Amino acid sequence: MTFSALFVGALLASQASAIPGRDNNAILKRACPDYVSYASTPHGPYSEGPLKLPFQRPAEACRTFSSSAVEKVIDDMTSRLVDKDLAQLFRNAFPNTLDTTIKWHVNGSSSTSSKRHVRRDGADWSGAQTFIVTGDINAEWLRDSTNQLTNYQKLASRDKDLYNLILGAINTQAEFVIQSPYCNAFQPPSISGVKPENSTQQDTVHPTYSKSFVFECKYELDSLAHFLLLGTEFHENTGSTEFLTDRWFKALKTLLRTIDEQSQPTFNSKNQFVSNQYTFQRETNIGTETLNLQGVGNPLNAGTGLIRSAFRPSDDATILGFFIPPNAMMAVQLQKIAKVVKKAGGHDDLADELEQRGKKLAEAVREHGIVNHGKYGDVYAFEVDGYGSRILMDDANIPSLLSLPYLGFVDKSDKVYQNTRKMITEKAGNPYYLEGPAFHGIGGPHIGLENAWPMSLLMQAQTSDNDTEIIDSINLVRDSSLLGLVHESINVTNIKIYTRPWFSWANSVFSQTLLKVAAERPHLIFGDDAEPYEI
């Protein structure tokens, strides 16, 4: 039994005996330690490998959601993994989202079911709803929450509770998109009873938004693409179109209007400046936290067919607003959601429109995103402006250039992708490829010039066909996760210097990587002649 379990059990016993009839569940929740503090300290039992990694799951009574299907995968994987340190890291990481980040969930059969119309904050909270925080910040990012659930999508068809959890997440995201499509991070719904997250930032944003509803309003194209991805993954794994409600279609309509607004150039046909529909200024001394030119950002040319993104998935401002990775992701997701809509029936014209939008956007990405590099040949640029300027680099956060096959935009054998991959995974081609004696990988301006992100190594493993590259990348993440959880970033000279004791999105990507290897290259982690394992 872990310290947490002993602590909670002892406190429950003392308080329950002191106040007979008290709600034991309420007592338990109050007894649960703050997970930021808990994750910062190692707990037993420790792994039997040389790293002696701690067991970092909260006590059962303190977990925010439970799934028997998830527990079975943990048992199946850890019993097969030869490396006991790797097994412990998976044991902690795979359930991390469920254990720690489901702050509010109703399954649609309770008092907030679809039988009762619930409208608050201008939103409709009827039916299944799920609010998922990013981890140490009590707010939901559209991007993070989608990726946090990815590992559980394959289990949703066999676990009704998981099915309703993900369905609720789609419904909740739809409400966020309907009300504030330009925003990236949201407060707990007022109906949830969860305390809102305070923000000390001083922002001037157009269009305006309610601070009781929105935590931060950085317009990131990938946030909208991730909203679509949450639904397409759900359909691909369950066959369900139940999420295609009137509210979801309203969110889709809002999304399409937003990307149309963000496809406009800076100057009109008469070469007159036209202010963007979205502007953002923050009182800050960090250049990546705000947009220049009074919140507009650098000029973008007409006729590209690309969609502007004011910020990157790192929450850093773009330099050139036609940011290629989320445009590629949106192109894929528009075509995927078109198939789902068509399968549901009754919306053939909309499905055709979505498919055509996706195809045209993919063509625009190839036309304007592929540029020639003197050393690497034809490569994908990170950002362009339609005037001929381009930014050549990559960032660890997904979507990235490294993740283009993962996003479904190109095959990993594609020549231009391979050229790009070579460029961004070495210092000569990518200024944010960071190397040191203790760690290496792609980083980004968000943390600085000494910290690489484990997420980039995991994406490197997922997009490789080289056994050595795959296992070396995984092992480097394992060796830098000494608290038994995957960090946001690691200092390349000293792995004991990191950001965030745990980062739910990174733990999700780690688990996803190990499950992919288990299904496709089981010999790397289960031993020679091992059978593939798929959930």
Contact 510, 454 (CB under 8 A): yes
Report the Cα–Cα distance between both ends of the chain, in Å, rounded: 28
List all residues 6 or more positions away from 98 whose beta carbon is below 8 Å from its beta carbon: 63, 64, 65, 66, 67, 70, 152
Q: Which two tokens stand for residue 423?
A: 């460029």
Predicted confidence at residue 155, as pLDDT, reads: 98
Contact 385, 320 (CB under 8 A): yes
Cα(234)–Cα(358) distance, integer angstroms: 20
- 3-state SS assignment for residue 377: strand
**Distance from chain centroid for Cα 75:** 25
Cα(457)–Cα(205) distance, integer angstroms: 35
Q: What is the dihedral of CA 115, 152, 421, 227, to 10 degrees?
A: 0
Dihedral class, residue 360 (left if φ above 0, else alpha if ψ from -120 to 50, else beta): alpha
Cα(76)–Cα(81) distance, integer angstroms: 9
Provide the residue-wise pLDDT of the chain in tens; the chain has 535 residues. Answer: 454 445 544 444 444 444 444 445 555 677 899 999 999 999 999 999 999 999 999 999 999 999 999 999 999 999 999 999 999 999 999 999 999 999 999 998 754 444 445 777 789 999 999 999 998 899 999 999 999 999 999 999 999 999 999 999 999 999 999 999 999 999 999 999 999 999 999 999 999 999 999 999 999 999 999 999 999 999 999 999 999 999 999 999 999 999 999 999 999 999 999 999 999 999 999 999 999 999 999 999 999 999 999 999 999 999 999 999 999 999 999 999 999 999 999 999 999 999 999 999 999 999 999 999 999 999 999 999 999 999 999 999 999 999 999 999 999 999 999 999 999 999 999 999 999 999 999 999 999 999 999 999 999 999 999 999 999 999 999 999 999 999 999 999 999 999 999 899 999 999 999 999 999 999 999 999 999 999 9
Phi and psi, residue 47, nearest 5°: -70, 160
Cα(520)–Cα(513) distance, integer angstroms: 11
Q: Give 528's Cβ-side CA count (13 Å radius).
A: 0
Q: Where do we find the tokens 């020549």? A: 415
Peptide bond just before 265 cis, omega within 30 deg: no
Q: Give 453's Cβ-side CA count (13 Å radius).
A: 27
Residues forming a β-bridge with 106: 129
Three state DSSP letters for 162-217: HHHHHHHHHHHHHHHHHHCCCCCEECCCHHHCCCCCCCCCCEEEECCCCCCCEEEC
Contact 181, 175 (CB under 8 A): no
CA angle, 273 then 277 then 281, to 5°: 90
Cα(209)–Cα(141) distance, integer angstroms: 16
Predicted confidence at residue 494, as pLDDT, reads: 97
